Structure 1
């Protein structure tokens, strides 16, 4: 079945239309909600952040006055004693607490690593001893095999010598005759 000559034109146009619609949808999805909330906030005249009053002339530049923190968060956490205690700490205390926590975590990790290293060394030592035992066993078996081969060779020579002497004195092997007849 042959396609009409203008089939490629319609396919390309439909593909481009779908591509443009997907692009517009993605643009609306990413830009739409922030734009909507910005326009809604300005129409009512509300300001999302209260103005801050800061006295930056104090010598401690890294501490934040408690009034500014409390004014920015409102009534949230005023009755919580743990929150109040945390908010009253200064930056140096918070950083030193963070460093002590990191040091404790690092020490725990180091102890765990040392314990794993000790276990690894014990396992290595155990397997090395087992390998040495195995090597000694293989060596003993090899020596026993070589000794057995030497003894077998000596026995075969001795048997051949006795058989030769027996033949010289007239002995004949009846078993060999029975095998040759069958």
Structure 2
């Protein structure tokens, strides 16, 4: 008899698996419900950890008003001032940044177009190859069909000739004592 314990023991029992899945789902629902409550009530008690130390800004208020409204984040302006690469990026004009972004996007599009052209070329080569193979198959099928028709015509002619010889033999007095087996 089939013994369930021999294949994996109690762990393959569907009832036990359902129970485990039920317990996991209850724990997950409880976590999802209580976690936002703990975060909203406990944020005032937790010390804030910053990724970088607070920056001191000695900027005039005129510089803030010259930037577009999307770039008015003070932490963005202050962080990275000591990094020469970052400061050169911040000093770039908005038009320069947009033109650089457009240039990068054009490069990506050119790469995509080149990749697509390569795929189209490969597809054309493969299609041509399949078309040649299909033509070979069609020629082979036509040859086989012609050979079949020729063999069928020869078989019909051979049957007529056999029937003619048999009828001549019967006219001369021959009698067929064998059993006849018709295969066709």
> Could you state the TM-score of these two structures normalised by the residue count of structure 1?
0.60
How far has the Cα of 1:169 moved from its partner?
2.7
Q: What does residue 28 of structure 1 align with?
A: 37
Q: What does residue 89 of structure 1 align with?
A: 92
What are structure 1's unaligned runs of at least 5 residues?
1-20, 42-46, 63-67, 178-182
Higher relative contact order (CA 8 A, sep 6+): 1
Q: What does residue 147 of structure 2 align with?
A: 144
How far has the Cα of 1:87 moved from its partner?
2.6
Q: What does residue 134 of structure 2 align with?
A: 131
Question: What aligned pairs does 1:74-113 form with structure 2 within 5 A after superposition?
Answer: 76-78=80-82, 80-113=83-116
* Poorly superposed stretches of 4+, deviation over 6 Å: 21-24, 68-71
Q: RMSD over aligned Cα, in angstroms?
A: 3.8
Matched, 1:168 2:171: yes
Inter-partner Cα distance in structure 2 for 1:127 and 1:57: 65
What are structure 2's unaligned runs of at least 5 residues?
1-29, 49-53, 69-73, 180-184
How far has the Cα of 1:148 moved from its partner?
1.0
> Could you state the TM-score of these two structures normalised by the residue count of structure 2?
0.60
Question: What aligned pairs does 1:16-95 form with structure 2 within 5 A after superposition?
Answer: 25-36=34-45, 53-55=60-62, 72-73=78-79, 76-78=80-82, 80-95=83-98
Deviations 1:46-70 (A, max 9, x none): x998686321699x655xxxxx889
State how many pairs are aligned: 141
